[in-house]
Amino acid sequence: NSKIMSASTKLSTSVKALCFLASEDKPKNSAEIAEAVGINASKLRRLLSLLGKSGIVKSDSGMLGGFTLNKNPDKINLQEIYCAIEDRKAFYLNVNQESLNNNNDSKKINIFFLDLFSEIQVEIENKMTGITLKSIKEKIK
């Protein structure tokens, strides 16, 4: 479905929006952020809403309102951003229970991949936890 953004697109879009907010000294509304990031404003509002629920951004209403970072860029990491906008793990394997109940090579291969993917998941999470918004901003300068 083209209406649903992929996880990696949502993550990179969120990081772009947060980097934009990190470089602004006053609140920005969703239209300004959307224009800076190059994304449709309603898609961006959905992401900002999720980032707000997790306390990464805060929004103030009113004439001078808009979105601002709720934390310092060196205190926001990729894993936290990812968890705010996604409801499932980065390396997701869909294996139905039935295929785990059969005692054959197919089951053993499924278990092999479940174990492998959970190890990869831990590595991804550790790596993403070590990458802050501040470090990304420094890398792209």
Write the CB contacts of 15 (distance below 8 Å, at least 6 apart in sequence). Answer: 78, 81, 133, 136
3-class secondary structure, 6: coil
Tokens encoding 111: 């278990």
Q: Identify the pLDDT of residue 2.
A: 45
What's this model's pTM, rounded to 2 decimal places? 0.83
Amino acid code (one letter) for 71: K
- Burial readout 53-71 (b: 16 or more C-beta within 10 A, e: otherwise): eeebbebeeeeeebbbbbe
User: Consecutive sets of 10 residues in the chain, 141 residues long: mean pLDDT of each?
Assistant: 70 96 94 95 94 96 87 96 86 64 80 88 93 95 84
Q: Identify the pLDDT of residue 63.
A: 75
Q: Tell me the three-class secondary structure of 14-83, residue by residue.
A: HHHHHHHHHCCCCCECHHHHHHHHCCCHHHHHHHHHHHHHCCCEEEECCCCCEEEECCCHHHCEHHHHHH
**What distance in Å separates the CA atoms of residue 126 and residue 61, rounded to the nearest whole number?**
36
Q: Identify the pLDDT of residue 1.
A: 41
